[in-house]
Amino acid sequence: MLFSLILSVMPMFVCLFWVILLLSGRERNLSKRYLAFFLSLSVINYFTHAAFFNYEYKLFAFMDNVWVFTSLAGYPLYYYYIRLLTHDVKINWRWSWIVAPSFLLSLFSFVIYFAMSPDELEMFIHGVMYHEAGYTEPYPQLVGLQILRMFLFQIIFIIQVALSVYFGFRLIIRYNKNVRRFYSNTDRKDLSPVKWVLFAFLFASVISLLSNVIGKDFFINKTALLAIPSITHSLFLFFIGYVGYHQDFTIEHFMKDVNDYRNQKTFQEEKENISFKNKITKRQLIQLMEEKKLFTNPELRITDIALILGTNRTYISRIVNEEMETNFCDWINSYRIDYAVNIMNDPKQNHLSALQVSEISGFSSVSAFYRVFKEKQGISPGRYREEKVRFGRVTQQG
């Protein structure tokens, strides 16, 4: 009994844990405050589940109407969280319409709830929700309307999951492309972890739909079965909180860097009386990179090169994307990997660790160095060194 109680409240306490951390963290930006709000609604959602699994009939009968809103609003609200990461620097209240279906169905449920007689409410809770014996069809009209509400819930839920995941992916893909065009290091800047959250959303939605189709009462007094949705949702919620808590870089920071570049460009134009409309060639860009070794700066941005050359970042981006057929991040990383390979091939620098090689080459972290090295060379830096040493020994023996 105690274990069942723990399982029923576990998702709720996972949400509370992250709400506290997100609101008390060192960097409480808009997206983190919004995520805390999202998880607060999830607390209400899983509180209703706990009331159901612990036979709190009256509490559940009322909270079930609130649950309709918190459950249906979850996916649209998380989609808007993605917008705050990728597009909107402040909350646009015109997007409130995305929770309209959730609100209207919840209102519909509340109206029926208050219109029901005590006998009808008892029939709905005990006969429909808990499937207890002694309650048979045909049900009264108001009970039938609540059953209709449950059917509409599933239809709206499926539609919202599909739309939220699809448009969420589009926002993340577009944002990641812009980040790779602007920064040479994208560690902790792109939103690849959030993409995995969307995959988790799909998985969690399947579990939720199966639970609704089977009926939540199926899991009552079956601790082993209750553990499946409880642990699944707890891990899913923990993943959401963990990713959101560690996602410090958002569109706010991106736009700040873009605006800083514009201000520097304006200042430089006025001070030096130059125009940033000068076009440059691919050869000039490559020559600058090879002579100045700008790629060794881990924080190098495309705007830094634009300011050095006295040109617009759009021209540089067009050369990299169209003529070199790559993006700024991959182009710079190619130089960094070539530089790292030269260091690793130099016998005089064999004493350098992988961390030192990554720092000298311009990577912001050794993990990024390992990832990009394997992408470009097909093997890890450690394996590359082992094969180089082995090849050297064979050469000496020959």
As given in the structure block, the two tokens for residue 75 are 């996916």
Identify which of 179, 329, 194, 241 has the alpha carbon closest to the alpha carbon of residue 42.
241
Which ranges of 247-281 would DSSP assign to H, the alpha helix?
251-272
Q: What share of the chain is helix, strand, coil (3-state, %, to 5)?
A: 80, 0, 20
The C-alpha atoms of residue 223 and residue 2 are separated, in whole angstroms, by: 10
Mind listing the pLDDT tens digit for each residue in 152-162? Answer: 999 999 999 99
The percent of residues above 70 in pLDDT, for the chain, comes to: 93
SS3 for 342-355 is: HHHHCHHHCCCCHH
The sign of the dihedral angle between the CA atoms of 290, 295, 297, 299 is positive
Amino acid letter, residue 47 = F
User: Using one digit for the tens of pLDDT, what is the confidence trace for 74-94?
Assistant: 999 999 999 999 999 999 999
CB-CB neighbours of 157 under 10 Å? 21
pLDDT digits (tens, 9 = 90+) for 104-114: 999 999 999 99
pTM > 0.95:
no
Residue 306: count other Cβ atoms within 10 Å of its Cβ: 21
Taking the C-alpha atoms of residue 238 and residue 15, their distance in angstroms, rounded to an integer, is 7
State pLDDT tens for residues 152-199. Answer: 999 999 999 999 999 999 999 999 999 999 999 998 888 988 888 888
* Tens of pLDDT, residues 264-303: 888 776 666 666 666 788 998 999 999 999 999 999 999 9
Please report the domains of the chain, with CATH numbers, ordered by start residue: 2-249 (1.20.1070), 275-397 (1.10.10.60)
Categorize the per-residue pLDDT at 133 as very low, low, confident or very high, splitting at 50, 70 and 90. confident
CA dist 255 and 87 (Å) reads: 10
- For CA atoms 312, 316, 322, 327, give the dihedral sign: negative
351 token code pair? 């004493």
